Amino acid sequence: MPEQRSALPATVLAFDFGLARIGSAVGNTFTATVQPLKILSARTNAEKWPAVTRLIEEWQPDALVVGVPLKTDGSRQEMTLRAERFARQLEGRYRLPVYRVDERYSSVEVEHGRGKIDDMSAAVILQQWFGENGLV
């Protein structure tokens, strides 16, 4: 029996976490469409959290997705721990389900050399989550 889409959230925000910038994207599970949104400044908590809050207030997501960077062999690294901490903070602050996605190869799918690509990477992460959940 196929999985029903109604069990999944309708609007999802995704984040590509970084120390200086956080890429964001939005998607709809019913249409399985994704679009890059913004690149948020994340150098300090004073910059990061108000920007994240504005996105959540604007889009009213049902769930969040965070890309978790792993080494190519699947092992954890320092940024893995930081991205997981960001995901836990999102859960605590916004009381929304937060899904983690292995983002090892997401940046490979985005063209390099064209400036900042964090929002496009977030879109790839969200598209990957859709694929993992049978939405595409």
Domain boundaries, the chain: 10-132
Average pLDDT over residues 4-16: 77
Pair of tokens at residue 118? 């964090």
pLDDT tens readout for residues 105-130? 655 455 555 567 889 999 999 999 99
Backbone angles phi, psi at 41, to 5 degrees: -70, 135
The 3-state DSSP class for residue 10 equals coil
Predicted confidence (pLDDT) per residue in 26-45, tens digit:
999 988 899 999 999 888 88
Reported pTM? 0.86
Tell me which CATH homologous superfamily contains domain 10-132.
YqgF/RNase H-like domain (3.30.420.140)
Most confident range (mean pLDDT) of 16-20, 88-92, 103-107 is: 88-92
Pairing of strands 98-102, 33-41: unpaired
CA distance 94 to 89: 8
Query: For the segment 46-88, what is each residue's pLDDT rounded down to a tens digit?
Result: 889 999 999 999 999 999 999 999 888 878 888 999 999 999 9
CA 128 to chain centre: 10
More confident residue, 15 or 6: 15
- Give the model's pLDDT for residue 7: 59
What pLDDT, on the 0 to 100 scale, is given for residue 135? 83
**In the predicted structure, residue 5 carries a pLDDT above the cut 50:** no
